[in-house]
Amino acid sequence: MATYAIGDIQGCYDELKILLDIIKFQSEQDKLLICGDIINRGPKSLETLEFLYSIKKNCHITLGNHDLHFLAVAEGVKEISDSDTFQALLEDKNLDIYVSWIRELPFHHISNIKIEGKMKSYIMTHAGIPPHWTREELERYSLELTETLKGPGSIGLLENMYGNEPNHSTKCDSEIERLRLNINYFTRMRFCQNDGTLDLVSKGKANETPPQMKPWFDWNLKILEHPFHILFGHWAALEGKTGKSNISALDTGCVWGKKLTALRLEDNRIFSCNKIN
Ligand SMILES: [Mn+2]
């Protein structure tokens, strides 16, 4: 039995299947932690979702910005854009099943895994964890977003989640702005300040840092008061590198012509499949 953390799939179904062959994935015993952006931009969002749904008992998936955008389009609150590639999914007979499933996926996941006789704790989100969040805050904000997405406030949240502002909790004028900020922390963050002030405009490499900002993982993270190993995706330009042994960047840009990566947690071994389609 092994546990693999997999980066942004983004509809790269063929590469996902090859990667699972490479790791000799066995649905009877292995577990997958998938950091989100499972669909969109790539060629086979429908096939990817069909497959992941079929093995959902083996998967822990956290929501990414593309998954949330798909929900917004499926719910009719946002127009599909030219760069979106999930039209076949929107026309599929099982659309309602997939929408219900994605809507209930969490914003964070914690796994405790026994490695060489010792328990090790992993925490995964799509984009990362802002430096000022404690574990208690992260869990509260994550649950709050999930409950909102599942409840009567769902449409309002999907309508209002777009935008780069407010960039800090002290600038939120309403409840919905606070929820938007937290969605941005969980699913879009790259650069921020030590107090969590976000810069969502820059998308560059970690060494092309905007003034006063750092990659979120380069600050002292309150969440690491607990001995977590952090897993995240979203930031393909990092090419899998954070420079920290306890913070693993899983998005290695498959959809952009690079590769899809799986990290085996038991021995930190990296497996990958180059882009083929
Ligand atoms: Mn993303």
Domain extent, residue 71, equals 3-274
116 CA to centre of ligand 1 in angstroms? 33
37 CA to centre of ligand 1 in angstroms? 5
pLDDT value of residue 89: 98
Neighbours of ion ligand 1 (CB under 5 A): 37, 64-65, 234
129 CA to centre of ligand 1 in angstroms? 14
Query: One digit per residue, pLDDT tens: the chain, 277 residues?
Result: 999 999 999 999 999 999 999 999 998 899 999 999 999 999 999 999 999 999 999 999 999 999 999 999 999 999 999 999 999 999 999 999 999 999 999 999 999 999 999 999 999 999 999 999 999 999 999 999 999 999 999 999 999 999 999 999 999 999 999 999 999 999 999 999 999 999 999 887 777 888 899 999 999 999 999 999 999 999 999 999 999 999 999 999 999 999 999 999 999 999 999 999 7
pLDDT value of residue 208: 82
Which residue, among 79, 225, 202, has the nearest Cα to 216 in the 3D structure?
A: 202
**Which residues make Cβ contacts (< 8 Å) with residue 96, sequence separation at least 6?**
none
32 CA to centre of ligand 1 in angstroms? 18
Q: How big is the chain by its Cα radius of gyration, in Å?
A: 18
71 CA to centre of ligand 1 in angstroms? 14
225 CA to centre of ligand 1 in angstroms? 26
pLDDT value of residue 209: 87
* Residue in the block written with tokens 């497996």: 271
pLDDT value of residue 12: 98
Instruction: Count Cβ atoms below 10 Å from residue 218 Cβ, excluding itself.
Output: 18
CATH of the domain at 14: 3.60.21.10
pLDDT value of residue 4: 98
Which residue, among 15, 200, 256, 215, has the nearest Cα to 129 in the 3D structure?
A: 215
pLDDT value of residue 10: 98
d(CA 96, CA 114): 37
d(CA 259, CA 6): 11
Q: Look up residue 47 and give its two tokens.
A: 């096939």
In a 10 Å sphere around its CB, with 0-12 CB exposed, 13-18 middle and 19+ buried, how is residue 44 labelled?
Answer: buried
Instruction: Count Cβ atoms below 10 Å from residue 77 Cβ, excluding itself.
Output: 17
pLDDT value of residue 194: 97
186 CA to centre of ligand 1 in angstroms? 10
Which residue, among 22, 125, 147, 15, has the nearest Cα to 64 in the 3D structure?
A: 125
Query: Which amino acid, one-letter code, is at 19?
Result: L
92 CA to centre of ligand 1 in angstroms? 24
CB of 85 within 8 A of CB of 77? no
Alpha-carbon dihedral sign for residues 225, 230, 233, 236: positive
How many domains does the chain fold into? 1
